[in-house]
Amino acid sequence: MQRHPILFFIFLLNISMLVVHGLNCHAFSLWLNLSSSLPYGVYRLSPMSDHNNIKRNDLVLFCLQKNIAQKTLAPKYLDNGNCELGLAPIGKRIIAVPGDIVTVNDSGIYINGLHIKNSARNQNLRGKNYVNFDRQMLLNDEFIVASELTDSYDSRYFGIIHKKDIKGTLQMVLVQKKS
């Protein structure tokens, strides 16, 4: 049986409205993901605090720094939102953490010498003003994020994200499974 994404999202929206209005709780917030970078669905956002310990494979919601957003393709890839330049926050998976040695170039992202699958930059987008670095050790507040998609807008284009730019961690509440 074929799934209909529009009906699924209407269902998700109705469920999220019921949860938000039914619980009327400010201890957490919901985030609806309609981007293909993460599975479509509803996520619970746990806001950042000084006590958050971000780990490899965590899902995070973050804003790009203004200088990075201006010189990359952020306005082309991101909807309107409450981040700098009026752009939407981005949800991605952490793939490199402080202490990891990272290389980012046109052929992809390398973490501790290992190439990340599907991380090469899109050939049509090469030669743009992207962040490149070779064998850089990530500092205490630095992370690399990526998606498994070949054309994802992630650290292969904008480089390192910083802990101060992370709004919080995401936990799946109700997501569409891959078919």
Identify the helix (H) or strand (E) that includes residue 48: none
Provide the 10 A C-beta neighbour count for residue 156. 28
Better-scored residue on pLDDT, 35 or 119: 119
Inter-CA distances, 128 with 124, 154, 176, Å: 10, 15, 34
Q: What proportion of the chain, given as a percentage, has pLDDT over 70?
A: 76
**Tens digit of pLDDT for each residue in 21-71?**
334 344 558 888 888 778 889 999 999 876 578 999 999 999 999 888 877
Domain ranges across the chain: 5-175
Better-scored residue on pLDDT, 149 or 161: 161
Distance CA 35, CA 53 (A): 25
Better-scored residue on pLDDT, 36 or 17: 36
pTM above 0.85, yes or no: no
pLDDT of residue 151: 80
Q: 95 in helix, strand or coil? A: strand
The CATH T-level fold of domain 5-175 is Umud Fragment, subunit A (2.10.109)
Which residue, chain included where needed, has tokens 């987008």? 125
